[in-house]
A and B are shown apart, each in its own frame.
Chain A
């Protein structure tokens, strides 16, 4: 895994994007481990405003509110966040139709994240692209290593273990049997303008991003990829940018809990020779 990855279709002229993520449940920012054990991390509007001022290149807002009827309050929240920031803003969570996407965009988001809704109905991606343009369509993929041998899947081997990457939906609660890297490729072909790729194995652990998952996905698609899941320290972000060709890295807890600004992380990246906006 130390081999340098081949750089393909990648301009070194664009900066690498650092993206704080707000997981929002019932109007509060929360943080989980392996998609569970939620703890409160603050007010979304306050945090969004702080990140926007502190050098975030973009903001992702994921509504993890379980009940459908409480989603209405989220729209107001999206609109309040949009008023205080001047950077691109992606909103996801529970998007299953064109109307859901339109509601989010009309509340002030720039892009819509689609996850379970796209797995259940892949044609939705093409519909969204036709109406809003593919730059508005972000496909969020939650992937987990599956160690069962399956000749129909793309198998990998690391540290003597064989596995493939499986797509999970409904907030990581339900397996799908889908190969994540193939799904990324299909989603991009159908209309996704960007892939937000989360490693369930690493999410919330602070053990670093899943480099293999990330690079294999970047290799498979020609749209930008955002790595997510596992960032515990600025060094993890350095690692994913140095060992893969990923376009952007998303993180939550290092920004929520540490008394460190986004720009502090970006300065560390710059000192390692990674191009960032500062």
Chain B
């Protein structure tokens, strides 16, 4: 059985992701500390919350004094005493373990975001930028995938498949080669990005019906390799 950790940065619903992975046969644990992410076959960074508090959690200092008041009261998972030691480096813990970032989780792969001031993980070069205000924001609903290149997590998934988006920011990668698929929302929105062991989707595979389930299954196979 594939052992999966979902990193919980403390805001919103991660249960639909847990349910979706369990339906695919994975064994899923929810972890709130970076050091507890060791030893899994795959790691998920889920899609809920705000950029700065999420990045602070992943850097091992979420919920400490620097947190914004709007999110600190819900970001209580890292408030305990173990944080007094030096923060554990997320990228070192992860190593070559496959990581799947969803929405905000994917946005953290990049260097920085217009949603916050903190630095992202920087595993993909580029920024997260807000959607143009000429469009309805959030981009919410089912949009079609335009596949740009073959990828292991797209196995069995056709060009034009529908997936569920809900987001107000989009990725702007420095290198277009990381874009696996896009969606058209009057502007092109990178829908799937990948670099090395980091896979990211702007949409929510756990809420994207059968297509999303296929994608999660493909990723789990990647994890058990």
Name A residues whose Cβ lies closer than 8 Å to a Cβ of B.
Answer: 9-11, 13-15, 17, 52, 57, 79, 82-83, 86-89, 102, 105-110, 130-136, 193-194, 222-224, 247-248, 277
Contact = CB atoms under 8 A, between A and B. Distances in A.
Contact of B162 (A86, A132, A277): A277
A83 B20 CA distance: 8
Interface in B7-65: 11-13, 15-16, 19-20, 23, 48-50
Contact of A135 (B70, B138, B143, B185): B138
A108 B140 contact: no
A135 B166 contact: yes
B74 A131 contact: yes
B119 interface: no
Given A108-B15, A131-B70, A224-B136, A57 B142 contact: yes
B80 to A, nearest CB: 20
Is chain A's interface secondary structure helix, strand, loop, or mixed overall?
loop
B158 interface: no
A108 B19 contact: yes
A14 B15 contact: no
Interface string B164-186: 10111000000000000001111
A88 B13 contact: no
A102 B141 contact: no
Contact of B140 (A87, A131, A193): A193
Contacts of A248: 141
B141 A17 contact: yes
Contacts of B136: 9-11, 222-224, 247
Contacts of A83: 19
B94 interface: no
Interface stretch (B149-157, B190-198, B201-209, B217-225): B201-209
Given A11-B186, A108-B16, A108-B19, A277 B142 contact: yes
B208 A86 contact: yes
B143 A13 contact: yes
B15 A82 contact: yes
Contact of A110 (B13, B137, B141): B13
B207 A110 contact: yes
A164 to B, nearest CB: 26
A107 B134 CA distance: 35
Contacts of A194: 140
B37 to A, nearest CB: 22
A234 to B, nearest CB: 19
A244 to B, nearest CB: 14
Given A132-B12, A224-B141, A87 B185 contact: no
B213 interface: yes
Nearest to A224: B140
B135 interface: yes
A87 B164 CA distance: 8
Nearest to A9: B136
Contacts of B12: 105, 132-133, 136
Contacts of A9: 134-136
A255 B213 CA distance: 25
Nearest to B207: A88
A131 B50 CA distance: 8
A111 B13 CA distance: 9
Nearest to B206: A86
Nearest to A14: B141
A131 B135 CA distance: 24
A106 B15 contact: yes
A247 to B, nearest CB: 7
In the complex, which of the residues A17, A86, A222, A248 has the most CB atoms of chain B within 10 Å of its own CB atom? Answer: A86
In the complex, which of the residues B48, B140, B144, B186 has the most CB atoms of chain A within 10 Å of its own CB atom? Answer: B140
A86 B167 contact: no
14 contacts: A9-B134, A11-B139, A14-B139, A57-B164, A79-B15, A86-B206, A86-B207, A86-B212, A86-B213, A106-B15, A133-B48, A134-B138, A135-B138, A194-B140
A223 B212 CA distance: 25
